[in-house]
Copies of this chain bind each other. A is one copy, B any other.
Amino acid sequence: MTHTPNENVLARKLWNAGPLDPEDLRRLDQVIADPFELDAREDLIQHGEDPQNVHLVLSGMVCRYKVLPNGKRAIVALMLPGDICDLHVAILGRMDHSIGTLTDCRLVKISRRTIDDLLDNHPRIRRALFWSTLVDEAILREWLVNMGRRRADQQMAHLFCEVHARLNAVDRMHGALLPLTQEELADILGISSVHAQRVLSGLRKKELVTVQDSRVALPDIRRIREFAQFEGDYLHLGEAADSGD
């Protein structure tokens, strides 16, 4: 529908908030000019730091997480290509959580100065960044609903549906893939890894998902969406969220 403006994932992501001018797109191209690579399971920022850069995901998967005094970990957000990891630091200062990679990634550092420039001097980009923050918030709300009020199997299925829809919004691909260990999955869902394993194999038995090399694929989107009671409206992606694949 909204044919993506170019090969810039950031632009494609922000495009979901509304059209941007060619000038905006040029500015966004500058922003992602100098990417770097990072292995899986590396921290980008740790709780308590006050970094000078913000990170953008070009490829791979990144997460926000908190570790409790008792050693338990909670993953509180998943960042996919096109997502900005930590706009916070530009405005909030000290990090109240950590950010780390889940897979090998290609990333870009964006300086605080650049963020300020985007926010102060590019109204359409500013609005799009605000939009993306509000969508992040909507996702958090849905995770909360998920965790508090859905059975673990529906909750897991719901997560898969969400990631599928979000990936589709920035990059058409054939079937969503989640390269996560069961422990990571458990930390997202707020359950133990053993239980995650049982729940996942339950979904497999129902043929709602298939797994290869610890990657999840959804063979029948419609059916798993029904099972998870997934309604994509909270992602605010327009039509993009509804497409089967």
Q: Chain A residues in contact with chain B, CB under 8 A?
A: 64, 66, 68-69, 72-74, 76-77, 87-88, 91-94, 96-97, 119-120, 123, 127, 130-131, 133-138, 140-141, 143-145, 147-150, 187, 189-191, 229, 233-234, 236
Which B residues touch A64, using CB under 8 A? 141
Which B residues touch A97, using CB under 8 A? 141, 234
Verify A138–B92 contact, CB threshold 8 A: yes
State in angstroms the CA–CA spacing of A136 and B92 once bound together: 12
Which B residues touch A133, using CB under 8 A? 130, 133-134, 137
Q: List 15 A-B contacts (CB under 8 A).
A: A68-B149, A77-B141, A91-B131, A92-B131, A92-B134, A92-B236, A96-B138, A96-B141, A97-B141, A133-B134, A133-B137, A137-B140, A140-B144, A144-B190, A147-B147
In addition to A72-B149, A130-B133, A136-B137, 20 A-B residue pairs with Cβ atoms within 8 Å of each other are: A66-B145, A68-B145, A68-B150, A68-B229, A74-B144, A77-B141, A88-B134, A88-B138, A91-B131, A92-B131, A92-B134, A94-B233, A96-B138, A96-B141, A96-B236, A133-B133, A133-B134, A143-B144, A147-B190, A149-B190
State in angstroms the CA–CA spacing of A16 and B136 once bound together: 22
Pick from B134, B135, B144, B190: contact of A76, CB under 8 Å: B144
**CB-based nearest B residue for A188:** B148
**CB-based nearest B residue for A87:** B134
Which B residues touch A96, using CB under 8 A? 138, 141, 233-234, 236
State in angstroms the CA–CA spacing of A56 and B197 once bound together: 44
**CB-based nearest B residue for A72:** B149
Verify B92–A149 contact, CB threshold 8 A: no
Which B residues touch A119, using CB under 8 A? 127, 130
Which B residues touch A148, using CB under 8 A? 74, 147, 187, 189-191
Verify A236–B141 contact, CB threshold 8 A: no
Q: Which of A93, A94, A96 is most buried by chain B, counting CB atoms within 10 A of its CB?
A: A96
